[in-house]
Amino acid sequence: MPSVMKPMGVLLCGAVMAAAACGGADTKPATAVSFNEDAWHPKLEADIPNDSLGASIKRGLYLLRFTPESLPQYATSSLRCTSCHQNDGLKKTSAPLTGAHSRFPKYMPRSGAVISLADRVNYCFTRSLAGNAIPVGSREMVDILSYLAFISYDVPVGTKIAGTNGIISMKDTLVGDIARGEQLFTAKTCVTCHGPEGKGNGPIPALWGATSYSIGASMAREERAASFIMHNMPQTAPGTLTAQEAFDLAAYINSHPRPDSPGKEGDWPMGGAPADVPYDTKDHKAHRPPASLVTRANPQGTLVPNPPSVGRAGGTLGAK
Ligand code: HEC
Ligand code: HEC
């Protein structure tokens, strides 16, 4: 009977919705949603609505800009989120955060697990900022996530936009020359802002030493740092360095001591670490490790454990 058949069809359709296209020949599957990146613009501070959600978005933005001032117990280094995610996370060449809300949860090969956006934020707190993880259920985490959702407005789920696979990739074939990097550090004016000891100064972040990023940060990898430097530094004249110069500077900067990242040897648990990872992991030998590592004051706070399972024997709900 047709009157029974139709609802049946709808029901079946609902059951397979998640896996495949549904609803007729002219409906495209969700993965084919078109997104015109050139026509899309992230919302800016001036677009933040004047309501409760807007207040949370604004606090999230200010936490990104003023991380150590706002969260001194968690952001203990000279870095703030916008030291790397420049222009409030909107700059295409410096690991933009635009659309991040649409790309998580995702599988992260370094963790060997599917992780949430909150855990990804905490990886940057613990490794890039060499600080401590903030509680996932905290007001501050919600505010940061509110801002990340705000600058992901209208970006379809799963969309990668330019630069968002981290920093723009460079040819891994180049190898930096540390001695040449030392000369370029002065010749290319890095020293005037970041200082001869790489310590930074006020809003200018440190490049090495106890208040810089940790060995477990992406920036501690030669190619990742070279790409950031080539596309964004010197701050006053970005785009003036050759790729080789950027690799030389990255090699020089990353040859210095920096904070440790406890548990790093468990990264890439399935193997497959990129060639420039500066510490030993499964099937990988450290590439040019820093001269020494600075012990972390609160090693427990630096850990972002993979999400536990609940409700099964051995899960956290079962364990009493
Ligand atoms: C030392 C530089 C640095 C600092 C400081 C930093 N990050 Fe990151 N962050 C990165 C890099 C680099 C990546 C991309 C990873 C890659 O290149 O593989 C990234 C990735 C991310 C991502 C995932 C983006 C995506 O779409 O995959 C989020 C979210 C993020 N950072 C948030 C933050 C927050 C919040 C802070 C401040 C608490 C922060 N970051 C501080 C360098 C940094
Ligand atoms: C005019 C001052 C200035 C000069 C010159 C300069 N920087 Fe920076 N640099 C900054 C500032 C400020 C930031 C933080 C980004 C921001 O706030 O927009 C930064 C961030 C960085 C970062 C990422 C954050 C960190 O601390 O690790 C690296 C790496 C870096 N600079 C390397 C260099 C190199 C290499 C040179 C020379 C080629 C250079 N900089 C020249 C001001 C400068």
Nearest to 111 by CA among 266, 299, 274, 302: 266
C-beta of 73 in contact with ligand 2 (< 6 A): no
Hunting for tokens 């701050």 — which residue is that?
A: 235
Pair 267, 273: CB distance under 8 Å: yes
Residue 32: band (very low, low, confident or very high) from pLDDT cuts 50, 70, 90: low
Q: Which ligand is nearest to the CA of 194?
A: 2
Pocket test for ligand 2, best of 92, 190, 240 (most atoms within 8 A of CB): 190
Q: Could you tell me the distance, in angstroms and rounded to a whole number, from the CA of residue 191 to the centre of ligand 2?
A: 10
C-alpha–C-alpha distance, residues 252 and 259, integer Å: 16
CA of 233 to the centre of ligand 2 (A): 6
Yes or no: say if 223 and 276 are a contact pair by the CB < 8 Å rule: yes
**Minimal CA–CA distance to 162: which of 61, 40, 29?**
40
Q: Which residues surround ligand 1 with Cβ inside 6 Å?
A: 64, 67, 79, 81, 83-85, 95, 97, 100, 103, 120-121, 124-125, 128-129, 144, 164, 166-167, 213, 217-219, 224
Lowest mean pLDDT among 124-128, 141-145, 183-187, 313-317: 313-317
pLDDT in tens, 33-78: 678 888 888 999 999 999 999 999 999 999 999 999 999 999 999 9
Ligand 1 atom index nearest CA of 213: 1
Which residue's alpha carbon is nearest to atom 43 within ligand 2?
Answer: 235
Question: How many CA atoms does the CB half-sphere of 216 hold within 13 Å?
Answer: 28
Verify whether ligand 2 is closer than 6 Å to residue 228 (CB atom). Answer: yes
Q: What is the pLDDT of residues 298-318, one digit of tens each?
A: 999 999 988 778 876 655 554
213 Cβ inside 6 Å of ligand 2: yes
Q: Residue 16 has what pLDDT?
A: 40
Tokens of 194: 């970041």
Q: How far is the CA of 9 from the centre of ligand 1 (A)?
A: 45
- Report the amino acid identity of residue 244: Q
In whole angstroms, give the CA distance from residue 75 to residue 140.
13
Which ligand 1 atom is at minimum distance from the Cα of 166?
17
The full set of domains in the chain, from first to last, is: 41-150 (1.10.760.10), 178-302 (1.10.760.10)
Q: What is the pLDDT of residues 245-289, one digit of tens each?
A: 999 999 999 999 999 999 999 999 999 999 999 999 999 999 999
- pLDDT tens, 148-190? 999 999 898 988 877 654 456 666 678 999 999 999 999 999 9
